[in-house]
Structure 1
Amino acid sequence: MSSKKQRIVVGLSGGVDSAVTAHLLKAQGHEVVGIFMKNWEDDDDSEHCSSRQDFLDAASVADVLGIEIEHVNFAAEYKDRVFAEFLREYQAGRTPNPDVLCNAEIKFKAFLDHAFALGAERIATGHYARVRHNPASGLFELLKGVDASKDQSYFLHRLSQVQLARTLFPVGELHKSEVRRIAAEIKLPNAKKKDSTGICFIGERPFREFLNRYISHAPGPIVDERGRRLGRHVGLSFYTLGQRQGLGIGGVKEKGAARGSGEHAPWFVARKELATNTLHVVQGHDHPWLLSQRLTAQDASWIAGAPPAPGPCAAKTRYRQSDAACRVVQASGTDFTLEFADGQWAVTPGQSAVLYEGEVCLGGGVIAAVDDRADCSKVTVNDCD
């Protein structure tokens, strides 16, 4: 970024990454203002919601750094733009990623607008990603964070040129260990605070317990690839493809296991059939029903403003995944189709497929459909053995 001193508003979450972000920018001589975003109000006084403690931590950081902090309530915007869509997707049998939508609609839209109303020239967050201006194209690029184990570009793939031009990710240039070291060195009160995980509005409570409050559900059969009924599910919305835990079904001996060994291969969710309210499960992590080599995604968003040309690429179909070699079959402003060199495990409708060219994130979309290897009703039983 320019060496010109600027007024920069930092999203202080109460965590160590955003705290070090504010410190680094202040150390560079910028005028730094902190904003704590409250995105969820339900259960705010319960053991499951940490927003009150997070604000106290953020305020303590601001005090140590000597910067102002403002508490801003975006709960209404979050409920309308993020949570309502989250529920619609689950009710439809898909598995959405609310963090992607939260970044696009709240952290880099509502927050950005509020920051500029305060006279900010830039905003900054504690995300592990980088922004680079490409002089050849004149465009801003979203890059992976230097720390590959913490890279968050997957969650930021819906950002636009306007948003990237006004955003800084200082800790994207650092490894997490260095962020922790800096925090301890300047004696930040949250230097050793545990990283937050999971979905912000669910907190530490069991996911099924939370979802049960908002989504209607009906029990139905759990069957294997041969149509054998193994048990009953509690509602299709409570399961996701590739899920292994919480199925509540006994084992069936793995094919080929030694007689009398008593060994059972684990069961995995392979398909949710809404028309018959049936949950299909298979045994074994590498069962063909769990592998897909082609997907179609919708609601595409491209960082450059235009889709990539058909040809070789790399993509992630879930956050904690290495880039997988693939080919862009077709891509438009609204959808795209990918073919992978190798079968991808448990590709899940509702999740995001995000495209990369080296360290540059190109954009992505919401997975809508996968190839028929994930639907063995279209192949013979022998093909699925």
Structure 2
Amino acid sequence: MSQQKVVVGMSGGVDSSVTAWLLKQQGYEVVGLFMKNWEDDDDSEYCSARQDWIDVVSVADLIGIDLEAVNFAAEYKDRVFAEFLREYSAGRTPNPDVLCNAEIKFKAFLDHALALGAQTIATGHYARVRETPEGRFELLKALDHTKDQSYFLHRLNQTQLAKTLFPLGEMPKTQVREIAAQIGLPNARKKDSTGICFIGERPFREFLNRYLPTQPGPMKTPDGKVVGEHIGLAFYTFGQRKGIGLGGSKDGSGEPWFVAAKDLASNTLYVVQGHDHPWLLSHTLQAGNPSWVAGVAPAAALACAAKTRYRQADATCTFSALGTSQPPGGHFALNFRDAQWAVTPGQSAVLYDGDVCLGGGIIEAADSAAPLTRAPQQAALLTPRPAA
């Protein structure tokens, strides 16, 4: 009987490299696939694609697997980057890694792998897939909760999960590093990437300004006092502390300033002092554009847990459907036992039942004391603006 063929998404990092080695050790016919998703500034000091490709080639040669490169830059710009700019221009803070996984890494990549004759794909994500006795597939947190990436994978569906392997979901990151060193991978000590999937480690505000114009406006306190000027609402996110341009208070309290609200109609940015200011705390939120791993929404009034941002502890809450909550439309509400800090429109609210990721949606509003931030969708440019 022929070996089962698996195509591994290889980024040049240690996680995907160890994933490929593990699967080969398990008897799979492994093919590495290097995805190029961004090419607007290939020669930039912040674009690591060239070095990543060199690392992938070295790893594939060492472990003895075939390797292919594919360019998904057009799909990425159309499916991910366009939405990224639309959200920022509307005053929200999107999470492009979530959309990239759903649209590129587990859609365009999966389609390409199947066309190559593969039965499954694999990535170096820290998560797990479990098949139930009824033949459904569940997305689970990684055993190493400090590295769990199920938050970024919550929009995957049954078809995608049925054909995906996450070999690293069963082991701690320390063990992955140890394996890489033991087998002599050339990238065993390579630093983990922490940047947004296409932006990398570059200065974010500088990057965003290449595509969105600055629109200065007043920076005010909740009582309406003007304390400064912002460069454009798109360049700030709820809970932001650094880069606001304000020091301690003039009354000597020294409490740090945080971004707490945006009024798009008047182009006003509201800032507050103190981490626990009422404008930064919310007990309920509303989310839209839901995606449920099982294909159906959770039961009404479900007691569960949720994250409103990555690297946040699970927060106990109650789920309630608002109207028709089946994909692709619908909305839902989450009511939290404890107030959540800086709930941010545009980010994902992801639901969990223990280690099982149920899915989630895009945060639209929260119940803080701050004014509601809403704005119509705006067209966004996909090419950098001309330099001044």
TM-score, shorter chain, exceeding 0.5: yes
Aligned to 2:312: 321
State whether residues 321 and 333 of structure 2, in contact with CA within 8 Å, keep that contact through their aligned partners in structure 1.
Answer: yes
Matched, 1:345 2:341: yes
1:312 aligns with 2:303: yes
Paired AA for residue 211 in structure 1: L
**Matched residue of 1:101: which SS?**
helix
For the 8 Å contact 1:243–1:268, the answer to whether it is kept is yes
For residue 156 of structure 1, what is the aligned residue in structure 2?
Answer: 153
2:283 maps to 1:293: yes
| Distance in 2 separating the partners of 1:306 and 1:329 | 13
Query: Cα distance, 1:372 vs. partner?
Result: 4.2
- Which one is further off, 108-117 or 333-342? 333-342
Q: Find the residue that maps to 1:56 and give its secondary structure.
A: helix
Instruction: Please give the alpha-carbon distance, in whole angstroms, between the structure 2 residues aligned to 1:205 and 1:178.
Output: 29
Maintained 8 Å contact 1:289/1:376: no
Take 2:42 and 2:172, find their aligned partners in 1: how far apart are those partners? 33
Q: Which structure exhibits the higher relative contact order, with contacts defined as CA atoms closer than 8 Å and separated by 6 or more residues?
A: 2
Deviations 1:48-98 (A, max 9, x none): 100111111111110001001101000000000000000000000000000
**Residue in 2 aligned with 1:259?**
none
Normalising by structure 2, we get a TM-score of 0.92
Q: Which residue of 2 aligns with 1:107?
A: 105
Match for residue 146 of structure 1 among 143, 147, 159: 143
- Give the 3-state SS of the residue equivalent to 2:104 in structure 1: helix
Cα distance, 1:253 vs structure 2: 4.7
Q: Percent identity?
A: 70
1:375 aligns with 2:371: yes
One-letter code aligned to 1:347: V
Equivalent pair of 1:270/1:374 in contact (CA under 8 Å): yes
Shift of 1:198: 1.5
TM score, norm. by length of structure 1: 0.93
Give the equivalent residue in structure 2 for 1:283. Answer: 273
Select between 234-243 and 304-313 the one with higher mean Cα deviation.
Answer: 304-313
Unaligned regions of 5+ residues in structure 2, if any? Answer: 374-388
What's 2:384 paired with?
A: none
Q: 1:56: which partner in 2?
A: 54
Equivalent of 2:218, from 207, 221, 231?
A: 221
Displacement of 1:303 in angstroms is 0.3
Counterpart Cα distance in 1 of 2:256 and 2:152: 31
Alpha-carbon offset, residue 201 of structure 1: 2.2
1:271 to 261, 266, 281: 261
2:321 counterpart (324, 330, 354): 330
Query: Is 1:196 the counterpart of 2:193 in the alignment?
Result: yes
User: Would you say the 8 A contact 1:8–1:123 is kept in 2?
Assistant: yes
SS in 1 for 2:146: coil
Q: Which residue number in structure 1 is paired with residue 169 of structure 2? A: 172
Aligned partner letter, 2:306: A
1:252 deviates by: 1.4
Report deviation, 1:206.
Answer: 1.0
Match of 1:25 in 2: 23
Which of 171, 179, 184 aligns to 1:182? It is 179
Residue aligned with 2:311, SS: coil
Work out which of the residue numbers 117, 122, 132 in structure 2 matches 1:134: 132
Shift of 1:111: 0.2
* 1:116 corresponds to 2:130: no
Q: Which residue pairs with 1:381 in the alignment?
A: none
Contact persistence 1:225–1:376 (CA under 8 A): no
> Are 1:44 and 2:42 an aligned pair?
yes
State the distance in 2 between where 1:101 and 1:270 align: 25
Number of residues paired by the alignment? Answer: 367
Per-residue CA distance 1:230-261 (angstroms, 9 max, x = gap): 0100000000000001111232156xxxxxxx
Query: 1:373 aligns to what SS in structure 2?
Result: coil
| Structure 2 counterpart of 1:108, one-letter code | F
**Structure 1 51/250 Cα, relative in aligned 2: closer, same or farther at 3 Å?**
same
Detail structure 1 runs of 4+ shifted over 4 Å in the superposition: none
Range moving further from structure 2, 125-134 or 199-208: 199-208
Q: Quick one: distance in 2 between partners of 1:49 and 1:330? A: 42
SS in 1 for 2:369: helix
Letter in 1 for 2:28: H
Cα distance between partner residues in 2 of 1:138 and 1:376: 43
Q: Distance in 1 between matches of 2:114 and 2:316?
A: 40
Partner of 1:382: none
Verify the 8 A CA contact 1:253 1:265 in the aligned structure 2: no
- Taking a change above 3 Å as real, the CA distance of residues 348 and 146 of structure 1, as seen in their structure-2 partners, is same
Q: In the TM superposition, what whole-angstrom CA distance separates every residue of 1:280-318 from its partner, at most 9, and x where no partner exists?
A: 000000111000111111110000000001221100000
- What is the deviation of 1:44? 0.5
Is contact 1:291–1:374 with CA below 8 Å preserved after alignment? Answer: no
**In the TM superposition, what is the alpha-carbon distance from 1:376 to its structure 2 partner?**
8.8
Q: What is the distance in 2 between the residues matched to 1:354 and 1:4?
A: 40
Separation (CA, whole Å) in 2 of partners of 1:217 and 1:275: 16
RMSD (CA atoms) = 1.5
Q: Distance in 2 between matches of 1:306 and 1:5?
A: 35
- 2:33 counterpart residue number: 35
Unaligned 5+ segments in structure 1 are 255-261, 378-385
Tell me which amino acid in the other structure corresponds to 2:268: T
Letter in 2 for 1:269: V
How far the C-alpha of 1:226 sits from its partner, in A, is 1.2
Aligned 8 A contact 2:193 2:200 in 1? no
Amino acid at match of 1:344: Q
